[in-house]
């Protein structure tokens, strides 16, 4: 009867790992399958160096500079808010996303602009520039 304790892999599906440097009786003693002398026989020589890939690694262009993990603010202009919203509306990332003004509702949103804010709206979970904050407080 087949059960979990007697399931075996198909013959030839697994191979035993070659155990190197375990004495001459093992068949892989003395030089441990590395041959005699030379750089390749020594410890601490990477395979990449052996394969001549060091030059290739140095030639490949690397990405320079710093890439922040924090997403950049999504920007919305005051003029766009004046056009899209009416008095008493709530401006939040979800409402901006519904009106297709930002790419996603999860990233931070910042309102920028030197124009006058003509509509009286409520802002929720939104960052704003100093000039926009002054307009709202006044």
Contact 120, 87 (CB under 8 A): yes
Over range 100-119, report the average pLDDT: 92
Over range 104-119, report the average pLDDT: 92
**Structure confidence at residue 50 (pLDDT):** 67
Over range 115-124, report the average pLDDT: 92
**Structure confidence at residue 47 (pLDDT):** 76
Name which CATH class applies to 74-137.
alpha beta
CA 30 to chain CA centroid, Å, is 46
38 vs 90: CA distance, rounded Å: 75
Alpha helices by DSSP H, listed for 1-138, are: 47-50, 54-59, 78-84, 93-98, 130-137
Q: Where are the domains of the chain?
A: 24-59, 74-137
CA 99 to chain CA centroid, Å, is 29
Dihedral over Cα of 8, 9, 10, 14: its sign: negative
Q: Is the pLDDT of residue 13 over 90?
A: yes
- pLDDT bin (cut points 50, 70, 90) of residue 114 is confident
Q: What is the pLDDT of residues 25-79, one digit of tens each?
A: 999 999 999 999 988 888 887 777 767 788 888 888 988 999 899 889 999 999 9
**3-state secondary structure at position 72:** coil
Q: What is the pLDDT of residues 79-101, one digit of tens each?
A: 999 999 999 999 999 999 999 99
CA distances in angstroms from 32 to 62, 78, 119, listed in the order given: 37, 73, 81
């Amino acid at each position: 009867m087949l059960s979990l304790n007697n399931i075996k892999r198909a013959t030839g599906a697994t191979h035993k790992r070659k155990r190197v440097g375990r004495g001459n009786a093992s068949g892989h003693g003395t030089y441990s399958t590395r041959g005699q002398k030379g750089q390749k026989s020594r410890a601490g020589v990477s395979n990449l160096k052996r394969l001549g890939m060091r030059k290739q690694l140095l030639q490949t262009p690397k990405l320079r500079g710093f890439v922040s993990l924090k997403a950049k603010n999504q920007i919305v202009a005051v003029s766009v808010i004046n056009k899209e919203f009416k008095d008493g509306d709530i401006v939040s990332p979800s409402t901006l996303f519904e009106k297709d003004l930002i790419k996603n509702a999860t990233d931070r949103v910042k309102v920028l602009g030197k124009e006058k804010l003509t509509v009286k709206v409520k802002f929720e979970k939104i960052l704003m520039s100093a000039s926009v904050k002054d307009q709202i407080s006044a």
